[in-house]
Amino acid sequence: MEMHKVFHMIGGEDEASYSQNSSQQRLILREVKPILKKCTDKLFRDMMEMDLPNNNCIKVADLGCCSGPNTFLTIQHIVQSIDEAWSQISDAELPNIQYFLNDLVSNDFNLVFKGLPQFYEELERKQNGRKYGSCHIAAMPGSFYGKLFPDGSMHFVHSSYCLHWLSQVPDGLIPESGKPRDKGSIYDDKASPSYVHQAFLDQFTRDFTMFLRMRSEEMVKHGQILLTFICKDSEEVEGSHYLSLMENALSDLVTEGYIEDKKLDTFNLPIYEPSIQEVKKIIENEESFKILKFQTFKTCLDAGFKSRTCDDEDNRMVRARYVATYLRAVFEPILASHFGETIMDSLFHRFENKLANVVEKRQGLLNNLVISLRKE
Amino acid sequence: MEMHKVFHMIGGEDEASYSQNSSQQRLILREVKPILKKCTDKLFRDMMEMDLPNNNCIKVADLGCCSGPNTFLTIQHIVQSIDEAWSQISDAELPNIQYFLNDLVSNDFNLVFKGLPQFYEELERKQNGRKYGSCHIAAMPGSFYGKLFPDGSMHFVHSSYCLHWLSQVPDGLIPESGKPRDKGSIYDDKASPSYVHQAFLDQFTRDFTMFLRMRSEEMVKHGQILLTFICKDSEEVEGSHYLSLMENALSDLVTEGYIEDKKLDTFNLPIYEPSIQEVKKIIENEESFKILKFQTFKTCLDAGFKSRTCDDEDNRMVRARYVATYLRAVFEPILASHFGETIMDSLFHRFENKLANVVEKRQGLLNNLVISLRKE
């Protein structure tokens, strides 16, 4: 599977697009905002002890920026945090910012660029003292598991809800011939045999280590990274994982004859939710970064849902549709590339029905990990 | 007119797209390649006398990169020139390159990004010693008449076939009420009254001065700029200018009742073809750059045309269609935003017929100016 071709959120601004279905991820950004603020405070205090940045320009990257309102919300949060932190330590004019949006080459960057003139105007209006033309938003398309920027150039790197995506499905799960080793399963779940789990963990370890190594080369001394991604819950959680519901919906389509069972057996999502211990160990082994903050928080699958009035039954189904729709904006391109476009409606209809129970009982929580790191 | 919204080449890869109709501009790039080679040679010789670039990374920008094969051809020419120039002065590994594509926010950047994986592979294969991951192609959307990059950061700036486009139609040509001052005319032509010519020249002077000032701030000492754009021919040229044929085609549509005459009177293209003296004077007055090379060459309107066999009559019309089609890919968005989509077919059909004569007689040549500049 060529990740750069098949993996992207649904582009554009239609009803089904990621851009219109990303309030869940927006909620995560809001939740992490106070930690972001602390990161930039620390960044400037550390920088003051050393040198001012080259050319009085702070270089920032958002890795896995996607497109739509969250892309801009992230820029706004980061610029605001930088400006507040700077104002606390210096009376001098705000530094210029060179801001790099990064995502895979199939991301809808055109959509973001079209919104830039309005965003720049708002930035100047909202941000006290931030002048038009003092923040330059560029794009660097490509995988963040490879090198993206010149050595020793970046001050602050941000990434939200991306690092649980692997660079590829681990090798060995989908044999060229013979029986697949994880029949019917589409991800590493609790019931996976240990060799399947190990294959996913190995891939995550390689990918996350490479992520850290590349950033280490690209960043200035004492540069900061802030990462948010989904991790395993250490406690026993009630209710099904949303991916197991997706797995069930696919199995139903096999039973009903819409999908060949071989087709399902040869499919795995390049997703891994690591344990906290696994993440810590990789960072320590890689040795470039010091962990400044390590925090988890839980969110309901429908946490970004806003509704005025619904009776209970409606509410249950409306919330399930909300969850199914935003997950469709994320998962449809990768599922459609394997199973075909035609069964997508049936699949997500079944998925939605399965979600209704989980949503009603407030089960199937997401466990989010936030880490801030400093390059030593 | 909000230039960033209406001014862009036709995107995508359809028959009508700029990407499929840019062989004329490709020819210009090929023509300028030897001069590009000399620029990079000089850049490295000058850099060697001073310091190596920061982090061993050469920073390059192509301003007005558009999208399609020419975008990649330009990158390939520039990277090749840098690699050859470097190899002549040093045995050390080739420097990394951070390459910024720039165009207005409505440019089809998605199309370019999708082509990147294949381009990177070809670059590694074709370019002796240029490793995968040592050239990073980023995008910086926005007007090059404003600031785009951090101070003192860029080594080489390139721009082909863009600077005859102004940042706006000069003020004073389209009054809010009363009679327009350039009735029926869509650009500054030989017959324009002197105040119209002066308004265009003033706008070009402001724009080009701003272009040079911004680049001067953004570039390292002894950084190089290479510019190609259309300029006025100093000799008396036979035959009509292609824009006067466009003007005639629009006038025909007024006569035939498809366009209101007021609609035509209030339209001007933000285009100016300066004289060589005007360009030299602006560079000298701005004072940041030394002119290293100043050269002109002529091209036929149909110079990029490649055809196998055509009899004479066919040839004439096929060539005229070729010219009309590539000019449509450039001019349609801006014309359609003023006159409406519906008359575009009629307009370009008439334009094509008018072009046939000019093309047949090898008249209506384009006069191209190439300048290389060094920041002092």
Kindly determine whether residue B105 and residue A114, on different chains, have CB atoms separated by under 8 Å: yes
Interface test with B, best of A9, A72, A105 (most B CBs within 10 A): A105
With cut-offs at 50, 70 and 90, classify the pLDDT of residue A4: low
Predicted confidence (pLDDT) per residue in B316-352, tens digit: 888 888 888 888 888 988 899 899 999 999 999 999 9
- Dihedral of the alpha carbons of A313, A316, A318, A324, in degrees to the nearest 10: -150
Kindly report the backbone phi and psi dihedral angles of residue A375, in degrees, each rounded to the nearest multiple of 5, phi listed first.
Answer: -75, 130
8 A C-beta contact, residue B335 and residue B344: yes
ipTM of this model?
A: 0.90
For residues B53 and A150, the model is more confident at: A150
Which residue among A55, A133, A150 places its CB closest to the CB of B146? Answer: A133
Any chain A CB within 8 A of the CB of B34? no
Report residue B285 as tokens.
């007055």
CATH C-level class of B17-237+269-305+364-375? alpha beta
Percent of chain B exceeding pLDDT 70 equals: 91
The whole-number pLDDT of residue A126 equals 86
CB atoms within 10 A of CB B138: 21
What residues does each domain of chain A span? 3-238+268-305+364-375
Strand segments, DSSP code E, in chain B are 57-63, 96-102, 135-139, 154-160, 219-230, 289-299, 366-375
Kindly determine whether residue B116 and residue A138, on different chains, have CB atoms separated by under 8 Å: no
Interface test with A, best of B13, B71, B110 (most A CBs within 10 A): B110
- Alpha carbon distance A317, A320 (integer Å): 5
Percent of chain A exceeding pLDDT 90 equals: 48
Give me the architecture of the A3-238+268-305+364-375 domain, per CATH: 3-Layer(aba) Sandwich (3.40)
Predicted confidence (pLDDT) per residue in A218-274, tens digit: 999 999 999 999 999 877 666 778 888 999 999 999 999 998 888 888 888 999 999
Q: Minimal CA–CA distance to A203: which of A270, A284, A279? A: A270
For residues B47 and B291, the model is more confident at: B291
Which residue among B100, B106, B136 places its CB closest to the CB of A149? Answer: B136
- Residues of B within 8 A of A138 (CB-CB) are 100, 138-141
Predicted confidence (pLDDT) per residue in B17-59, tens digit: 777 777 777 788 888 899 999 988 888 888 776 665 556 799 9
8 A C-beta contact, residue B84 and residue B36: no
Strand segments, DSSP code E, in chain A are 57-63, 96-102, 135-139, 154-160, 219-230, 289-299, 366-375
The C-alpha of A132 sits at a distance from chain B's nearest C-alpha, in angstroms, of 10
Kindly determine whether residue A55 and residue B151, on different chains, have CB atoms separated by under 8 Å: yes
With cut-offs at 50, 70 and 90, classify the pLDDT of residue A16: confident
Kindly determine whether residue A98 and residue B138, on different chains, have CB atoms separated by under 8 Å: no
The whole-number pLDDT of residue A374 equals 95
CB atoms within 10 A of CB A260: 12
8 A C-beta contact, residue B115 and residue B66: no
Helix, strand or coil for residue A344? helix
Predicted confidence (pLDDT) per residue in B147-196, tens digit: 999 999 999 999 999 999 999 988 877 655 556 556 678 888 877 888 88
- In sequence order, what are the beta bridge partners of B294? B371
Kindly report the backbone phi and psi dihedral angles of residue B210, in degrees, each rounded to the nearest multiple of 5, phi listed first.
Answer: -65, -40
Which residue among B55, B113, B137 places its CB closest to the CB of A152? Answer: B55
Kindly determine whether residue A136 and residue B139, on different chains, have CB atoms separated by under 8 Å: no
How far, in Å, are A32, A89, A222, A306, B346 from residue A160 at the CA level?
9, 27, 21, 22, 51
pLDDT at A101 over 80: yes
